[in-house]
Structure 1
Amino acid sequence: MSSGVTVDAAIPPLFHDMKFKKTLKVAFFRISDDGKRIIVDEEKQIKPSEKDPYGAFIRMLPTNECRYIVFDVAYGTKESGDKTSLLFIAWAPEDSSVKAKMVHASSKDYLKKELGLDNEWDLHDMADAMNIREMGAKLKGALCVEGRDLGCH
């Protein structure tokens, strides 16, 4: 909490349900308008029933606002077959304000610690976000991610 930003009380139960009950495939969070809390971005949530969660995730990324995202990524490995893993994504696009990027960066580790997540992917533009091979690199041994072949057999 070095930035002074706290995690809203609604986030831990939402994350718990996402992790254990699989209620969401992707959850978006943002800094509140008053700059004091990290809150759930209610308009940007992806249900497990979404046919293309990765495509929906890409479409939901704002062009000039920072977001924290937790993605319950489905992937396949040669060693252990199909798996899922929670991936923490820090979205800080180049077109967001310097102040927003600074608050976002200084609050990121606090949110990750609150959620107990280590696996992180930092994104700064659409080219980064659309690089699914990079997402796969964050998931040890991934050969496919969200049904997309990484071409690394």
Structure 2
Amino acid sequence: MAMAFKMATEGMKVKEECRKWYTEMKWKRVHRFIVFKIEEGSKTIVVDKVGGPGEGYPQLAAALPLDDCRYAVFDFDYVSLDNCHKSKIFFITWSPAASRIRAKILYATSKQGLRRLLEGVHYEVQATDPSEMGFDVISERAK
């Protein structure tokens, strides 16, 4: 436990590829979501999976493991009440109950480093099970 705390307080480096993929998603809209993970050996946050422009929320939910933590950003498109097409970017911290305590500590303490890098995020969601980040939750927050 002491080693997990030591690693957690040191923080994780964020690879430049994380910023590159996020910028492409935000400005060029060529990705619908990006899943990030922490590589404990190198103490870095890296891109784990990227969802193409035709993929949606079900593919993002399927990309998150049931027994390990992840971060994700999701570009949510919707039509507002005044019939305008809008887009909101969500930052999701996925920390399922089945994940290791060490992983939960690392992800909780390293979140701000990645979050600062991702400018333009509209909403944050923290989830420990799929119901806390369901499509209905995302949709309600956006509107």
Provide the TM-score with structure 2 as the length reference.
Answer: 0.86
- After superposition, residues 23-102 of structure 1 pair within 5 angstroms as 23-34=30-41, 36-41=43-48, 44-50=49-55, 53-79=56-82, 81-102=84-105
- After superposition, residues 123-142 of structure 1 pair within 5 angstroms as 123-130=127-134, 132-139=135-142, 142=143
Identity fraction in percent: 29
Unaligned runs of 5+ in 2: 1-7
Residue of structure 1 equivalent to 2:5: none
Query: C-alpha offsets along residues 77-123 of structure 1, whole Å, 9 cap, x if unaligned?
Result: 21462211111111111100111001101111221111123520111
Q: Would you say the 8 A contact 2:38–2:44 is kept in 1?
A: yes
Give the letter for the 1:70 counterpart. Answer: V
Residue of structure 2 equivalent to 1:121: 125
Give the letter for the 1:40 counterpart. Answer: V
Q: Would you say the 8 A contact 1:31–1:39 is kept in 2?
A: yes
Residue of structure 1 equivalent to 2:25: 18
Q: Would you say the 8 A contact 2:33–2:75 is kept in 1?
A: yes
Deviating 4+ runs (over 4 angstroms):
none
Residue of structure 2 equivalent to 1:146: none
Q: Would you say the 8 A contact 1:7–1:37 is kept in 2?
A: yes
Q: Would you say the 8 A contact 1:93–1:124 is kept in 2?
A: yes
Q: Would you say the 8 A contact 1:112–1:118 is kept in 2?
A: no
C-alpha displacement of 1:35: 5.6
Unaligned runs of 5+ in 1: 143-153
Query: C-alpha offsets along residues 113-141 of structure 1, whole Å, 9 cap, x if unaligned?
Result: 111235201111122233x22212321xx
Aligned residues: 135
